[in-house]
Structure 1
Amino acid sequence: MFIAYIVVSSLLALVCLASGTAKVTRQQALVEQMGGLGVAAKHVPVLGALLILGAIGLIVGNWVGALGVAAAGALALYFIGAIITHLRAGDAKGSVPTVALALVSVVALVLRVLSL
């Protein structure tokens, strides 16, 4: 289970780092897209920082089991919030990648718990 966790969490961490970096650097297209979902521009870097911290937690979670569990659980909650945001804005189609990331986060959480 531990090797599966390493693979899943590493891929999830890469996606979170890329997305988090785009948010922290306030890429204009992303800020506009999130504005269309009702997210204030001042919150975009904060959301990006949360993604980056989650990615770091997943990687450090390879050595510190409890941190890996916490990071995967926090990212699952983050993506559930993102799904709700998309649905409230009437963007069900745009929530599909977010649903996939939420599921991958839950898989990482389960794998880390089983590998403790």
Structure 2
Amino acid sequence: MYLTVTLIAAFLNGAAAVVYLIGHEYPRSQADIKGIPRRYVPVLGSLLAAGTLGLLAGLRFPLVGTLAAAGLLLYFTGALIAHLRVGSRNLVGWAVFFGTALATVAVHLTRS
């Protein structure tokens, strides 16, 4: 369970990081909708990439993985606030990422 949940979370967040970092239009348009300056899109992508690398490092160093998963929970809590601040109710994508981060924290904490 630990390995499966961690790899799914790493895959999802890694894919999102790539989309943010290559300059795809979707994250830029979402930033516009949420009133976030476009210059922060690569920063957000870097945070997702760091979380992904932390999850993968956690396979060898469990504390690093737990901290990375907790960091992703904070990241997606901020994303929820950004959605709600502008009245966005399109939260399906957010729920998938948040739920995956939450599951990852849970399996990491129960493994320790």
**Normalising to structure 1: TM-score of the pair?**
0.90
C-alpha separation between the residues in 1 aligned to 2:27 and 2:101? Answer: 22
Residue aligning to 2:78: 81
Q: Which runs of 5 or more structure 2 residues have no equivalent in the other structure?
A: none
Residue aligning to 2:31: 34
Query: Percent identity over the alignment?
Result: 29
Specify the code of the residue in structure 2 equivalent to 1:20: A
For structure 1, which segment, 82-91 or 94-103, has the greater mean C-alpha deviation from structure 2 after superposition? 94-103
Identify which of 38, 48, 51 aligns with 1:51.
Answer: 48
C-alpha separation between the residues in 2 aligned to 1:55 and 1:89? Answer: 28
Q: Does 1:69 align with 2:50?
A: no
Specify the code of the residue in structure 1 equivalent to 2:102: V
Residue aligning to 1:105: 101
Deviation at 1:32, TM superposition (A): 1.7
Aligned pair count reads 112
CA RMSD in angstroms comes to 1.1
For structure 1, which segment, 104-113 or 64-73, has the greater mean C-alpha deviation from structure 2 after superposition? 104-113
C-alpha separation between the residues in 1 aligned to 2:92 and 2:41? Answer: 20
Residue aligning to 2:91: 95
Specify the code of the residue in structure 1 equivalent to 2:8: L
Would you say the 8 A contact 1:87–1:95 is kept in 2?
no
C-alpha separation between the residues in 1 aligned to 2:25 and 2:95? Answer: 24
Would you say the 8 A contact 1:57–1:71 is kept in 2?
yes
Specify the code of the residue in structure 2 equivalent to 1:56: L
